[in-house]
Amino acid sequence: MTGNSDRWRRLQPNLALSAASVGAVLLVGELALRAVSYAPERYRPFAHVANGRRTLFLDCYPDNPRLYFDTDLRDPATRSHFRAAGIQRVDEIAFRAPWAVECRYNALRFRDAELGPKPPGVRRVMVLGDSFTEGQGVKEPDTLPKVLERLLNSKEPGRWEVRNCGRRATDFPALYEAFEQILPYDPDLVIYAMVLNDPERSAELEARQSYLNDWIIDMGRMTGEGPPPLGFLPPRLFALVHDRLRNYRIGRDTTRWYRDLYSEVNGEGWQRTRFYIREMNRRMRERGGGFLVASWPILVGLESHYPFEEVHQTIERFSLTAGIPRVDLLPVLRGRESASLWVHPVDRHPNEIANRLAAEALLPVVLEMGAKVTR
């Protein structure tokens, strides 16, 4: 016992010195982070509110960092207008997420006017997709379909109509059902605006997505999702470490999830998805029309190390083998700062800049395909 006590007494100064050194390092780190005013970015959650018939929808955001949103629900007259239109919870949302974008839907739940007979002498283009196509967080004139329509008619005035057939939160097989809904409206060209999370997926992949931050909606930057308070670590230093570890985990798990969608892990789901895309192409060709795949990238890592290059290559190989025309929008957006293309820091849907760039990339292809339509 005496020997152990002696060893413990000899170790005590070293342990105390080590503890003091660690404490000093933590203190210096904390002071340095405070000196540069480091704080993790946190935002109040954004919200979606609708009227009872779901023909009018508001995408609501906590702030307006790009000064793009021009509807401020804190204004009493604005709130009164939307209350009269049947928007629910508008007063509750107004002081949490006051900056809004208005979305109006037709009877098919597409963000467009009601569909009817095609005007004589007009090429009708229908853009099929999910929230990227619909334009979550983007004013209607700035959505890809509307911008593309203006560009086409600037080249051939009065000859083009482009309809928005995007429906948020829609993947396969629901996307194929939406395709069948638009066929009776006589499209000359269907553009399927593909997003990388569109494929039909197994129950296992569906369950894995539920806990992933998929880099489209950044839950981690919303208040209530930040690091828990731990009194034994300096708050800002802990926040920095927490954010770095969280981002690493998200990057690793999300990249694997997207890649698995297009691999043997989701073999049956990806096979059925390819079948749906081939069928859309076949049915449009049988009608004498055209079909085009326009594939969006996920808006992350565009500056240098885009993490889903292999997925784009998989889609390209399929398109070539199936003989389906495709425009990959990754080269159009690559090299830009990813954040400059987001609707909002916590909503990474394509903003009006990304929509315009995509429409400009599609313009020459659509003009060429439209010239070949035989209907």
Identity (one letter) of the amino acid at 337? Answer: E
Please state, in angstroms and rounded to a whole number, the distance separating the CA atoms of residues 124 and 190: 9
pLDDT at 28: 55
pLDDT of residue 344: 95
Q: Which of 249, 109, 137, 273 is nearest to 194 (CA)?
A: 273
Domain boundaries, the chain: 47-103, 118-201+260-372
Bridge pairing between strands 56-61 and 99-104 = antiparallel
What does the CA dihedral 143, 312, 366, 341 come to, rounded to 10 degrees? 30
Dihedral angle sign, alpha carbons of residues 261, 265, 267, 269: negative
Of 354, 299, 359, 350, residue with least CA distance to 137:
350
Return per-residue pLDDT of the chain as tens, 375 residues: 555 666 656 656 655 566 556 555 545 555 554 554 445 555 567 789 999 999 999 999 999 999 999 999 999 999 999 999 999 899 999 989 999 999 999 999 999 999 999 999 999 999 999 999 999 999 999 999 999 999 999 999 999 999 999 999 999 999 999 999 999 999 999 999 999 999 999 888 877 665 444 667 665 555 554 444 444 445 655 555 556 566 666 777 788 889 999 999 999 999 999 999 999 999 999 999 999 999 999 999 999 889 999 999 999 999 999 999 999 999 999 999 999 999 999 899 999 999 999 999 999 999 999 988 876
CATH code, 118-201+260-372: 3.40.50.1110
The 10 Å Cβ neighbour count of residue 20 is: 10
| CA–CA distance, 365 with 294 (Å, rounded to integer) | 10
Spatial CB neighbours of 146, under 8 Å, sequence gap ≥ 6: 140, 162, 164
